[in-house]
Structure formats: C-alpha cells, structure tokens
Chains A and B, each alone.
Chain A
Amino acid sequence: MASSSSAISATRFLQSPTNAKPRSPSYSLSNSSFMASRSELRCPSSLSLRSPRRASSFTSALKQKTSKSTATIVADSLLITKEEGLELYEDMVLGRSFEDMCAQMYYRGKMFGFVHLYNGQEAVSTGFIKLLKKEDYVCSTYRDHVHALSKGVSSRAVMSELFGKTTGCCRGQGGSMHMFSKEHNVLGGFAFIGEGIPVATGAAFTTKYRREVLKEEDCDHVTLAFFGDGTCNNGQFFECLNMAALWKLPIVFVVENNLWAIGMSHLRATSDPEIWKKGPAFGMPGIHVDGMDVLKVREVAKEAIARARRGEGPTLVECETYRFRGHSLADPDELRDPAEKAYYAARDPIVALKKYLIENSLATESELKAIEKKIDEVIEDAVEFADQSPLPPRSQLLENVFADPKGFGIGPDGRYRCEDPGFTEGTAQV
C-alpha cells in the first residue's frame, strides 16, 4: 500500500515472509529519518555521559542526515480532506492544551502523584485513534491522558479523575495512570510497563472468539496497544507478539519510541535499537514511521488497522517520536541533550500540521485559531467542573473492590459483610 508520495517515503513496510524462509531480508535505512538508529550513535564506547561529548556525536550525526528527513511534508497529492484535517488538528490541540493545563494544575497543588505528560507525541495518538470506531479497543500505559481523550472520553471526566474527584472517569479511584472507560472501550491505564500488552492481546482474543466461536460474523473490532521503547525489552512484549502472530489476533502494537525511558537512553538499553525489526522475527510486518508527522502515522495506521480488520493478523508499528517534557512532572529532565530537544521541537507535530493545512489551502489561519480558542474553553470548563466536583465520600471506600461484594465473606453474625449497614458507609470491618 506504500504510496509513491514522497511524503511517506520515510516509512517502510517489512512484510513477514509468507513462505517457509524464517528470516526476511534486512535493508538499509540510508534515507530514513530515524536518528537514533544511526550507527555512530550506537557504539556506546565512543559515548560518555558528559554532555559535550554526546552533543558532538549527536550534532555530527545531525550533519550527515539527508534533507528528506525534515518535518515539512511535501505532498504530491493531498492525504486528507478539510474535515479530516480540522478533526486531526483539533484533537492534537486538545491533547497539547490538556497536558499543559495538567502541568499548571500540578504545580498549583490540584493533582498529585506521578503525572506523565504526552507533549510532543500527539501525532501518534491522533494518527491512530482517530481512525478507530467506538467499539474498537485502546490499551495504553501510564502516559494515557491523551489516548483517553482521543478515544472520546470527555475532558471533564479525565480532569476530574486527575483531581481525584468522584466524577472522574474511574470515580477518582484510578488517577493519572489508570484511565479506563467502558463506554469508549479504553482498557487502561497501567502503571507497570508491559502490563497492558497482554490485556490488549486478550481484548483482541475476545474479538476473534466472538467471530469464530460465538459466530458474530460482523465482529471485527481492532485493538491498539500503545507502549514505549523501554517496554520493548520486557518479556511480556515478546510473549504477546508471539501469541498475537500465532493466533492472528486483530491487534496493532504501536511503539511510541521517544528514545528515553526516564533517564535510560534506548540505545544504552537495547542490543538492537531498531524495534520494527522485531516484528518479522515473530511473523508479522514491522514498520517504522516518523511519529512527529501525523499524516505519515495516519497512512501507516490505516493499513495496519485494515489488516487487522480483515483478519490478517497483527502489525508492529514503531513510531519515532519525542516527549518535550520530562518523563513525569517530577523528572527534572537534565539528562537529555538540548540539541536533541531542539531538533525535535522544530518538528512539533501541531506546527507541522498547521503548516500543511494552510499551505494546501485546507484551512485558514482564522479557522485554526477558532479551534484553538474552542479548545481553550473546553479545557477551562473541564478545570472548573473538576474543581467544583466533590471528593469521594467515605462510603466509596469499600465499593468496587469486588464486583460481587459477597466476596468480603460472612461475618460472625451469619450475615454477609456487605449487608452490614456500616458497609455502605465505608466503616464496616471487612
């Protein structure tokens, strides 16, 4: 499906072998924009942790990159319509504004704990999730606010959850790292990395089961599993790649490779940093895409999701992206090279899409400004709603531990504990 448009020349589809040959041929990445895979950067012996040395390695690699790998998108034919463009723009601005507001609220003491912001990675979330139906599933990590928003969870619900209020999407019981929505099929929100991948595999298994065992022939829901570069060294990742390919589950594994796992550079943690290569090892296509460009991501996502819907099995998509902020709001972010940050800041996905829309006359400056203003109002409203919402009452403490509260057992008086009047007040002994 890779179109001839130079706009997506940086993407490659590496198909899994269809015959008995176990290994597919590797190919060179000479005109890839993937900075981190440059061989110069892969030899740790030449790198030291002192910034000047690292900066020189990075900038020397920078000088060698080809001119194709810039953020500007040169399109022969338009990839999106005006409506689609505005939808994408609005979603990305929503994600960015929401995360910026989170930072503000955190420093004002309205939300607590570990908050992981998604600034800079919006193209991945928007590029993939805006192609999904409501019944499709999304499974994420702790960096999940924007995934939930893109999937359709209201800003009010997410902001309230972050404030710990009872009107939050998880009644204030989950928090920043556990965003769930049954209505919008957001399966979380997991604090441990890699934990969500098997859950996503299970959701894809349900789709296959419904189609083949329960005979619901029109059940073609796709599951997207989002996770980072650090997770790709974790056993659960590999185990699920194997199972998904084995049973041809309708799932897309989306790697948000932002090159850093807190302070651990992807290159220092991984023997072979090119994650897309690990797909064919399990019998599925592995694709690398520029994750700072929402249109490129969207084109790749279209094919991967269509593949899954057709029942052809999983795909591994590696999106090279970058987080503009630290790992979390508690991370001082002193380890990353300023040159690297500047390089990616220049490829801001929102700025890039704006440029594309205006240059191709899909939208005017004023229309985009109107969207930004609208989003500002949505966020303001969300904050106000969250502020005014009540904190959870004591009675909520013991609810939801068990789906069937008989699980708290039988008390000395012969009645189930959950029948104790104190239970609904949250003061019962359980």
Chain B
Amino acid sequence: MAAVQGLGSVVTLSSGHSFDSRRGRHRLVLQHQSELSRDYLINGSGQRLTDGAKRSLKFSPGAVLTKAETASGSTSAKSGHELLLFEALREGLEEEMDRDPRVCVIGEDVGHYGGSYKVTKGLAKKYGDLRVLDTPIAENSFTGMAVGAAMTGLRPIVEGMNMGFLLLAYNQISNNCGMLHYTSGGQFTIPTVIRGPGGVGRQLGAEHSQRLESYFQSVPGLQMVACSTPYNAKGLMKAAIRSENPVILFEHVLLYNLKERIPDEEYICSLEEAEMVRPGEHVTILTYSRMRYHVMQAAKTLVNKGYDPEIIDIRSLKPFDLYTIGNSVKKTHRVLIVEECMRTGGIGASLRAAIIENFWDYLDAPIMCLSSQDVPTPYAGPLEEWTVVQPPQIVTAVEQLCK
C-alpha cells in the first residue's frame, strides 16, 4: 500500500513562510489514512481494493510514524514520485486515456500547444490530433459538441482555457450537460469532465480572475469538485473521468506549481468526499482550493497562540460531504468557512445553510464565513490582495469565534 506523505516541499504562495512543521505533517499523514473511507487504491491487476482490505494493510515505512524512524529510514521511506500539480493532472489524464480509448480532450490550444498551463503537454503527439482536439474559439459550440459526443458514446474532457471563458458555454453546460440525462428520461448519459483554471491569480485582471463555483452550483445534474494538491488533483481527475455524471473540476491558477510526492500505485479520490487536512478540537475550518494554503498558514499562527483548529478541505463543492463536516461540527461546535468565492450566493453561503439545517443543535456560535469581496478583481496588487481572504483575517476570525 502506498503512503501519502502529505505536502512535501510546497511552493510558497503569498509570504515567505512555508508550512513544514514535521509534527504537523506526521499527524496529517496518520489522520489522512484513517479518516478517508472512500478513496481507494487499485492493485496491480486493476482491481479496486475495498475499505476493509485497505484498513487491514500495514502502514508502509513511508508513512511517517515517529521522528526517529523517519531519520533512520529516510532512504527506504521514499516511495512514490515527486511532481508538480499540473503534471499530476496530466498523469491522471494520461492514465485514463491509456485505459479507455473513448476518453478524449477538447479545448483551445490543448493539442499542439500543450495546454495554456501545460496540463496536456505531449498528449497530442502521443494520441493524435483527433483525440486531443484543438478547437476554434467557440466555447459554447465545442462544449455542446462534447455533450453530443458524450451522448453518443465518447468520454470527452473539455478544457476551458480559463474557467471564466466557460461563461460563454453556460448555455450548453446548464441546459444540456446538466439536464439531458433527466429530460431524456435517463436514456442518454453525459460522462463529460469540464475543467480549467480559475480563481484569483497574480494581477491577471478582473475577467481572468473569476470564481465561477457559485454560478454552476444551482445547475441540477452537475457535480463540482475542486482540487488543491497534486495528490487529490490526480485522484479527482481520474474519478471525474470515470464518473458517469458530468463533473466540473475546478483548478486554481496559482496552484499549478505545487510539488508533492504521490504514490506510484494507481489511486482514485472519491468525488463526494471531503479531505481532513488537520484534525483539531477547537474550531472547524472548512475551505477548498487555494484558500487551504492560506488557512494552513494561519494555522501555524493559531497553533502558536494555543488554538487547535480542525481543517477540512471540502473538495466536493456540490454535493457537500455532510458526514465529514458533520462529525467535525459535532466535535468542535464552531465553524469558520474560508473561501475564495464571492460572498453573495457563493459556496460558503450554501455550506452555511446546509450546516445550519443539519447541525443547528451542535453549534455554540454563529457560523462565520470569510469570502472574497463582492468586487471585480482589481488589477493593482494591493487591491487584489484585499479582495481575497488573507491569513491574518483568518486568525482574527478564529480568535473571535473562540471567545
């Protein structure tokens, strides 16, 4: 069984600090293994290992248990391979394309150019121009084309060069992708994956810095997931491709160069499950995508101040994993949601409503939600920084919540 070693050398995002507390990583690894019940590994003959099988396997030396063991067994502990997030996405994509010849990629500059963020680099050479299709600039039509292809037997992956461009494809995503399985009475399935980078980058301007999670939330029939580490990026990509439902995979422009060691064995992440990043006792912090790293940074400060936050990367934006979230709320009784989405009608707003509806009795304080300002992302650096949630705000919010 491969071990997940958690975040290895993380490329820093905003400030000069990097999250490298070995104690934190140790706890992270252990918790990661036992909490996740629906991520699964695949053995050499392509069979899925069930939960029971996984729990009975021993932890390999790679799963760091004590500091001493790590120090001595460092050479033998290095299983898996290190790569960047966009390479992890590509690896997942390539593995699925090898496995099923019906999987194809459709998008602008995915073929010869290799993708604007290099996720599909080299794939056109390997699979040909028809399997990795360079389209003209016609988002609505080529997304509709992907829907038609999915209905008639293929498994297309649509890449939006930037998630914002998918606004042009909204007609096809909402009406056709989301609805056709229902309006056809279940006759046609639409096993597409729509993916692309979104979120606020480095002074990219308002239109390239959009967060569209909230826009697609209400479309019935769609599943939405957001990846945040190379491990879950590859796992979610594979799960999304294998799913019979249309899935939107949100990636983040600033996370593509994250480095992590991931298992050599094949694995899939569950599309509906959340990820426990750091277990704790005092407060539950729910986050996803890039804000996970701002939260982890704030967590260091909080730990130094004596707080013990439980951090969950919700990963599945639609539907919410109410089991993991619920267990956490029942334990800590305080919830802080940290997201990059817009304040109005965002993922946080829905999550807040869902928690109140299901876990009201367990709450000791009102749910706090930190989201981006309802502002088109400004170009100027400082303004852009103030648009998104920064670690000091998270620290203040936790302090307020735990008063």
Instruction: Tell whether, in the assembled complex, residue A404 and residue B145 are in contact, meaning their CB atoms are under 8 Å apart.
Output: no
Q: Specify the chain A residue showing the minimal Cβ separation from B355.
A: A412
Q: Is B147 an interface residue (CB 8 A)?
A: yes
Shortest distance from the beta carbon of A19 to any chain B beta carbon, whole Å: 23
Q: Specify the chain A residue showing the minimal Cβ separation from B321.
A: A410
- Please report the C-alpha to C-alpha distance between residue A413 and residue B128 in the assembled complex, in whole angstroms: 47
- Please report the C-alpha to C-alpha distance between residue A243 and residue B106 in the assembled complex, in whole angstroms: 12
Instruction: Tell whether, in the assembled complex, residue A168 and residue B104 are in contact, meaning their CB atoms are under 8 Å apart.
Output: no
Shortest distance from the beta carbon of B32 to any chain A beta carbon, whole Å: 18
User: For residue A169, which residues in chain B have a CB less than 8 angstroms away from its CB?
Assistant: 185
User: For residue A199, which residues in chain B have a CB less than 8 angstroms away from its CB?
Assistant: 144-145, 147-148, 151, 176
Q: Is B379 an interface residue (CB 8 A)?
A: no
* Highest count of chain B CB atoms <10 Å: which of A182, A189, A198: A198
Q: Specify the chain B residue showing the minimal Cβ separation from A187.
A: B151
- Please report the C-alpha to C-alpha distance between residue A137 and residue B188 in the assembled complex, in whole angstroms: 13
Q: A246-B136, A412-B326 are in contact. Are A198 and B185 (CB under 8 A)?
A: no
Q: Is B383 an interface residue (CB 8 A)?
A: no
The interface-forming segment of A67-75, A102-110, A200-208, A296-304 is A200-208
Question: Chain A 404-430, CB within 8 Å of chain B: the 1/0 string?
Answer: 101111111110110000000000001
Q: A171-B185, A174-B185, A236-B141 are in contact. Are A412 and B323 (CB under 8 A)?
A: yes
Q: Is A195 an interface residue (CB 8 A)?
A: yes
- Please report the C-alpha to C-alpha distance between residue A209 and residue B102 in the assembled complex, in whole angstroms: 9
Shortest distance from the beta carbon of A172 to any chain B beta carbon, whole Å: 7
- Please report the C-alpha to C-alpha distance between residue A421 and residue B326 in the assembled complex, in whole angstroms: 21
Instruction: Tell whether, in the assembled complex, residue B148 and residue A208 are in contact, meaning their CB atoms are under 8 Å apart.
Output: no
* Highest count of chain B CB atoms <10 Å: which of A137, A235, A401: A401
User: For residue A207, which residues in chain B have a CB less than 8 angstroms away from its CB?
Assistant: 152
Contact of B149 among A188, A189, A202, A408 (CB under 8 A): A202
* Highest count of chain B CB atoms <10 Å: which of A235, A403, A417: A403
Instruction: Tell whether, in the assembled complex, residue B184 and residue A178 are in contact, meaning their CB atoms are under 8 Å apart.
Output: yes
User: For residue B180, which residues in chain A have a CB less than 8 angstroms away from its CB?
Assistant: 180, 188
Contact residues of A between 393 and 409, Cβ < 8 Å to B: 399-404, 406-409
- Please report the C-alpha to C-alpha distance between residue A240 and residue B143 in the assembled complex, in whole angstroms: 11
Q: Specify the chain B residue showing the minimal Cβ separation from A212.
A: B130
Question: Chain A 205-231, CB within 8 Å of chain B: the 1/0 string?
Answer: 111111011100000000000000000
Q: Is B358 an interface residue (CB 8 A)?
A: yes
Q: A201-B148, A203-B148, A410-B321 are in contact. Are A209 and B130 (CB under 8 A)?
A: yes
* Highest count of chain B CB atoms <10 Å: which of A139, A168, A402, A404: A402
Question: Chain B 185-224, CB within 8 Å of chain A: the 1/0 string?
Answer: 1111111000000000000000000000000000011010
* Highest count of chain B CB atoms <10 Å: which of A137, A201, A409: A409
Instruction: Tell whether, in the assembled complex, residue B183 and residue A189 are in contact, meaning their CB atoms are under 8 Å apart.
Output: yes
Contact residues of A between 133 and 190, Cβ < 8 Å to B: 137, 139, 168-175, 178, 180-182, 187-190
User: For residue A239, which residues in chain B have a CB less than 8 angstroms away from its CB?
Assistant: 136, 138, 140-142
- Please report the C-alpha to C-alpha distance between residue A82 and residue B180 in the assembled complex, in whole angstroms: 40
Contact of B323 among A180, A189, A411 (CB under 8 A): A411
- Please report the C-alpha to C-alpha distance between residue A15 and residue B152 in the assembled complex, in whole angstroms: 30
Instruction: Tell whether, in the assembled complex, residue B358 and residue A412 are in contact, meaning their CB atoms are under 8 Å apart.
Output: yes
User: For residue A400, which residues in chain B have a CB less than 8 angstroms away from its CB?
Assistant: 181-182, 185-186
Q: Is B244 an interface residue (CB 8 A)?
A: yes
Q: Is A242 an interface residue (CB 8 A)?
A: yes
User: For residue B146, which residues in chain A have a CB less than 8 angstroms away from its CB?
Assistant: 202
Q: A200-B148, A407-B223 are in contact. Are A209 and B104 (CB under 8 A)?
A: yes
User: For residue A180, which residues in chain B have a CB less than 8 angstroms away from its CB?
Assistant: 180, 183-185, 187-188
- Chain A interface residue bracket vs B: 35 or more
- Please report the C-alpha to C-alpha distance between residue A148 and residue B381 in the assembled complex, in whole angstroms: 57
Instruction: Tell whether, in the assembled complex, residue B323 and residue A414 are in contact, meaning their CB atoms are under 8 Å apart.
Output: yes
- Please report the C-alpha to C-alpha distance between residue A200 and residue B322 in the assembled complex, in whole angstroms: 39
- Please report the C-alpha to C-alpha distance between residue A298 and residue B306 in the assembled complex, in whole angstroms: 81
Q: Is B175 an interface residue (CB 8 A)?
A: yes
Question: Chain A 106-138, CB within 8 Å of chain B: the 1/0 string?
Answer: 000000000000000000000000000000010
- Please report the C-alpha to C-alpha distance between residue A169 and residue B83 in the assembled complex, in whole angstroms: 49
Shortest distance from the beta carbon of A258 to any chain B beta carbon, whole Å: 24
* Highest count of chain A CB atoms <10 Å: which of B181, B185, B323, B326: B185
Contact residues of B between 271 and 293, Cβ < 8 Å to A: 271-273
Shortest distance from the beta carbon of B26 to any chain A beta carbon, whole Å: 27
Instruction: Tell whether, in the assembled complex, residue B220 and residue A410 are in contact, meaning their CB atoms are under 8 Å apart.
Output: no
- Please report the C-alpha to C-alpha distance between residue A391 and residue B166 in the assembled complex, in whole angstroms: 38
Contact of A198 among B148, B182, B271 (CB under 8 A): B148
Contact of A410 among B186, B191, B323 (CB under 8 A): B323
Q: Specify the chain B residue showing the minimal Cβ separation from A166.
A: B185
Q: Specify the chain A residue showing the minimal Cβ separation from B326.
A: A412
Instruction: Tell whether, in the assembled complex, residue A173 and residue B183 are in contact, meaning their CB atoms are under 8 Å apart.
Output: yes
- Please report the C-alpha to C-alpha distance between residue A235 and residue B169 in the assembled complex, in whole angstroms: 12
Contact of B145 among A188, A192, A202, A407 (CB under 8 A): A202
Contact of A201 among B141, B182, B316 (CB under 8 A): B141
Question: Chain B 69-102, CB within 8 Å of chain A: the 1/0 string?
Answer: 0000000000000000000000000000000011
Shortest distance from the beta carbon of B331 to any chain A beta carbon, whole Å: 14
User: For residue B140, which residues in chain A have a CB less than 8 angstroms away from its CB?
Assistant: 198, 235-236, 239
Instruction: Tell whether, in the assembled complex, residue A202 and residue B183 are in contact, meaning their CB atoms are under 8 Å apart.
Output: no
Q: Is B359 an interface residue (CB 8 A)?
A: yes
* Highest count of chain A CB atoms <10 Å: which of B152, B176, B321: B152
Shortest distance from the beta carbon of B314 to any chain A beta carbon, whole Å: 11
Contact of A205 among B148, B172, B176, B221 (CB under 8 A): B148
Q: Is A92 an interface residue (CB 8 A)?
A: no
- Some 11 contacts from A to B, beta carbons below 8 A apart, are A170-B187, A180-B185, A195-B171, A198-B140, A199-B147, A209-B130, A213-B131, A214-B102, A243-B138, A243-B145, A246-B136
Give the 10 A-B residue pairs with the shortest CB-CB distance, closest first: A202-B148, A198-B144, A409-B319, A171-B185, A170-B185, A180-B184, A199-B148, A239-B141, A239-B138, A403-B244
Known: A187-B188, A207-B152, A412-B326. 8 other contacts (CB 8 A): A170-B185, A187-B152, A198-B145, A205-B148, A403-B186, A410-B272, A410-B319, A411-B323
